[in-house]
Amino acid sequence: MDLGLKGKGVIVTGASRGIGRAMADCFAREGANVSICARGAEALETARQDLARHGTSIHAAPCDVSDPDALARYIAQAHEALGAIQVLVNNPTGAGDSESDEGWRRNFDVDLMGVVRVSRLVTPMMIAAGGGCIINISSVSGEMPSTRSPGYAAIKAAVIHYTTSQAKSLAPHNIRVNGIAPGSTFFDGGFWDVMKAENRDIYDATVASVPFGRLGTVDEIADAAVYLASERARWITGQTLTVDGGQSLR
């Protein structure tokens, strides 16, 4: 199925590993030119080299999306490297899971304001390109109460609401805005990999909460992102797609 993404300029933030890297890989595999950023330069370079195997243009630069000046420099570089930006995937997370002021602040600065700032910078570029698509990565935590990480859940809920506001305001500019709310997703070195090793009771209980009896994979989230960015989803906007194998049906 031709998704119409060949030659498109795509930015994926927070893409050195996990879901972000899988999404960047999926876009590159579809023929898109991709720019990625993350805080860790070494992991980012490894990701860039791996993505290059698809034969499209790959740009990568370290950036902390909570730093407005660094973010502005990165977006300018990405725009120059890609020529035009038609797709933006906002995928940063500060993983601030504590209830301290610092934990809340990290979630706010990265998970919410990272989305706001990047979108603010990229939107004029999309308008100049004739339109585009923004995808905001939230979480099923933003759709239900959370006793383990209420700050993270509250900020992800804000991302879901902001997605609807963006969608309504940007539709006249031919820009669609949607979200993805992943459920518990496993990848090597990720949160659930650590929990499997260090807190097996919580890990097993989480697996048991999914009707299919397993956690999600990063490729399953990436496939949803590529679909939402494609021409096949051209009449979908303002929606947050829950991709969790039915975990939130409990």
Q: Each residue of 184-207: pLDDT tens digit?
A: 999 999 999 999 999 999 999 999
Mean pLDDT (whole number) for 207-221: 97
As to burial, measured by CB atoms within 10 angstroms (0-12 exposed, 13-18 middle, 19+ buried), residue 31 is middle
- pLDDT, tens digit (0-9, with 9 covering 90-100), for 49-68: 999 999 999 999 999 999 99
Looking at residue 95, its pLDDT comes to 67
Closest among 140, 146, 133, 173 to 159, alpha carbons compared = 140
Tabulate helix, strand, coil % of the chain (nearest 5). Answer: 55, 15, 30
CATH 3.40.50.300 fits 9-187+217-245, yes or no: no
Based on DSSP, count helices (H) and strands (E) in the chain, helices before strands.
Answer: 9, 9
Query: Can you read off the two tokens belonging to residue 138?
Result: 């939230």
Hey, where are the domains in the chain? 9-187+217-245
pLDDT above 80 (res 127)? yes
Averaged pLDDT score across all residues of the chain: 95
> And the tokens for 184?
């518990």
Burial annotation 155-192 (CB, 10 A radius, 16+ → b, else e) = bbbbbbebbbebbeebeeeebbbbbbbbbbbbbeebeb
Q: Quote the CA–CA distance of 204 and 157 in Å, as a whole number.
A: 26
Res 149 pLDDT > 90 = no
User: Which residue did the predictor score with more confidence, 1 or 182?
Assistant: 182
CA distances from 188 to 19, 138, 163, 197 (A): 11, 20, 29, 11
Close Cβ partners of 182 (under 8 Å, ≥ 6 residues apart): 19, 137, 139, 140, 216, 221, 243, 244
Q: Is 162 a catalytic residue?
A: no
What contacts 198, CB < 8 A, 6 or more positions away?
A: none
- pLDDT of 28 > 90? The answer is yes
pTM: 0.96
Given a cut of 70, is residue 97 above it in pLDDT? no
Q: Is 80 exceeded by the pLDDT of residue 96?
A: no
CB atoms within 10 A of CB 203: 19
Q: Which of 74, 152, 162, 203 is catalytic?
A: 152
Strands 33-38 and 58-62: parallel
Residue 250 has pLDDT above 80, yes or no: no
| 74 has pLDDT over 90 | yes
